[in-house]
């Protein structure tokens, strides 16, 4: 270690080194080398941390051209499993299918209309999936999904980060019914606003289904729902247990594809069973914390004998609106003037003067608006952007 110009510089003297070579050990040379090395290390660390490349949000939703496969029969994807999918064919029989190699990387979702080709399966060929019992004749061939038809609608929610920008919920649906129990689990209006964003984005009719109405007094008007009532959002109160409020729903499902979404334990599967007993879906109790037990594990497409289709989904913990268009918020929060919707964060939700000036009937909705507005532009932490 020598002291030069008042700073410590590490010098390495190797045996037989010439004086000129020693001059190359000058600290500027050192720091240049070190800077290059540390940059390389940093890049390597970031690659390791991210693991998977970030996906472009739009490309994730693109489907390969089904053109070459239009001569093949069409079916509806009614349930996804880890290794295969269940298809409902035109004659209502169910066929289990694998995904063709060309669809690698394409995300299929319940409700997708697909083209499939029948694959004769040799029972002793280990490279092919095991033949599974199929409803109906039991001897139908296995199939392979080779193409997905363009989606009429796509219900999705935001993913955690850019590795998974979207989580697909259901394709080709007409309505979203967000289910919220009066108690167990508690009614959370914030979830309803989020669901409204998802429905608007997908172009689906939005309804709120209040479940377990028997658990609250008839006098309880559920004031948490007043802002939605004020907007004219249809709200249906039901009790699957007491079989109340079901008939209007049955009429609404007719001719429509309806997705039921909500926290675990709100009674989605119980409601499907009440409307369509043949479904005989498994339902669960609640944990000692009053939350559901994640009884349903995969979305199910269930055509009703009385007409229409219900899609039961697994209970959600949250609905992220990350990546959605902020322009949708004007329809979810119509009571706010354009100047607030332009940049809600500049308004202080805790300041009485601000709230008075805005003259809001439900002042707590400003914070809600701010939360969603902020979340929509949430960026991937792995891309060194603020979160």
Ligand X SMILES: Nc1nc2c(ncn2[C@@H]2O[C@H](COP(=O)(O)OP(=O)(O)OP(=O)(O)O)[C@@H](O)[C@H]2O)c(=O)[nH]1
Under rule CB under 6 A, residue 299 binds ligand X = no
- Considering only CA atoms, give the Rg of the chain: 28
* Of 283, 278, 29, nearest in space to 179 by CA: 283
Among 76, 196, 296, 309, binds ligand X (CB under 6 A): 296
Positions 218 through 247 that interact with ligand X (CB under 6 A): 239-241
Under rule CB under 6 A, residue 113 binds ligand X = no
Name the one range near ligand X by CB under 6 A: 6-14, 157-165, 207-215, 321-329: 207-215
- Nearest approach in angstroms of CB 262 to ligand X is 6
- Nearest approach in angstroms of CB 174 to Mg ion is 21
**Residue 79 interacting entry, from ligand X, Mg ion, none, C-beta within 5 to 8 Å by type:** none
Q: Enter the tokens of residue 86.
A: 């269940």
Q: How far apart are CA 148 and CA 64, in angstroms?
A: 7
Under rule CB under 5 A, residue 269 binds Mg ion = yes
Element (H, E) at 97: strand 94-99
- Nearest approach in angstroms of CB 217 to ligand X is 13
- Nearest approach in angstroms of CB 239 to ligand X is 4
Q: Which is nearer to ligand X, 190 or 284 (CB)?
A: 284
Beta-strand pair 257-262/175-181: parallel
Per the CB < 8 A criterion, the answer to whether 145 and 103 are in contact is yes
Among 253, 258, 266, 366, binds ligand X (CB under 6 A): 266
Residue 341 phi, psi (nearest 5):
-65, -25
* Helices 246-253, 268-275: inter-axial angle, 10-degree rounding: 80
Q: Enter the tokens of residue 174.
A: 């007409």
Helix (H, G, I), strand (E, B), or coil: what is residue 116? strand
Q: Enter the tokens of residue 22.
A: 């020693």
Under rule CB under 5 A, residue 313 binds Mg ion = no
* Burial of residue 284, with CB atoms counted within 10 A of its CB: 0-12 exposed, 13-18 middle, 19 or more buried: middle
Among 295, 370, 374, 382, binds Mg ion (CB under 5 A): 295
Q: Which is nearer to ligand X, 144 or 273 (CB)?
A: 273
β-pair partners for 7: 4
- Nearest approach in angstroms of CB 330 to Mg ion is 33
- Nearest approach in angstroms of CB 323 to Mg ion is 27
Q: Which is nearer to ligand X, 34 or 242 (CB)?
A: 242
Binding residues for ligand X, per CB under 6 A? 211-212, 214-215, 239-241, 262, 264-270, 283-286, 292-296, 314-315
Binding residues for Mg ion, per CB under 5 A? 268-269, 295-296
């Amino acid at each position: 270690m020598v002291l030069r110009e008042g700073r410590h510089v590490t010098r390495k003297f190797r045996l037989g080194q010439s004086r000129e070579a020693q001059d190359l050990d000058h600290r500027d040379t050192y720091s240049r080398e070190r800077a290059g090395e540390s940059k390389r290390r940093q890049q390597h660390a970031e690659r390791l941390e991210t693991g998977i490349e970030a996906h472009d949000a739009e490309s994730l939703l693109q489907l390969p051209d089904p053109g070459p496969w239009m001569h093949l029969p069409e079916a509806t994807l009614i349930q996804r499993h880890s290794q295969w999918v269940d298809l409902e064919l035109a004659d209502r029989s169910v066929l289990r299918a694998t995904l063709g190699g060309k669809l690698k990387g394409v995300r299929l979702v319940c409700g997708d209309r697909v083209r499939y080709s029948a694959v004769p399966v040799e029972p002793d060929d280990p490279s092919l999936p095991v033949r599974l019992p199929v409803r109906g004749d039991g001897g139908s061939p296995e199939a392979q999904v080779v193409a997905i038809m363009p989606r009429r609608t796509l219900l999705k929610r935001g993913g955690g980060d850019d590795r998974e920008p979207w989580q697909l919920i259901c394709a080709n649906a007409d309505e979203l019914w967000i289910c919220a129990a009066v108690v167990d689990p508690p009614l959370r209006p914030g979830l309803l606003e989020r669901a409204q964003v998802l429905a608007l984005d997908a172009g689906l009719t939005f309804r709120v289904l209040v479940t377990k109405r028997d658990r609250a007094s008839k006098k309880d008007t559920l004031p948490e729902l007043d802002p939605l009532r004020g907007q004219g959002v249809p709200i249906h109160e039901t009790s699957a247990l007491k079989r109340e409020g079901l008939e209007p729903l049955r009429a609404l499902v007719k001719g429509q594809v309806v997705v039921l979404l909500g926290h675990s334990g709100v009674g989605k599967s119980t409601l499907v069973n009440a409307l369509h007993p043949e479904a005989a879906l498994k339902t669960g109790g609640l944990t000692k914390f009053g939350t559901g037990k994640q009884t349903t594990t995969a979305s199910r497409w269930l055509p009703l004998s009385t007409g229409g289709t219900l899609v039961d989904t697994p209970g959600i913990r949250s609905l992220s609106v990350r990546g959605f268009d902020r322009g949708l918020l004007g329809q979810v929060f119509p009571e706010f003037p354009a100047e607030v919707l332009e940049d809600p964060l500049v308004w202080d939700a805790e300041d009485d003067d601000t709230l008075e000036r805005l003259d809001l009937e439900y002042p707590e909705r400003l914070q809600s608006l701010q939360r969603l507005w902020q979340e929509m532009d949430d960026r991937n932490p792995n891309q060194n952007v603020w979160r």
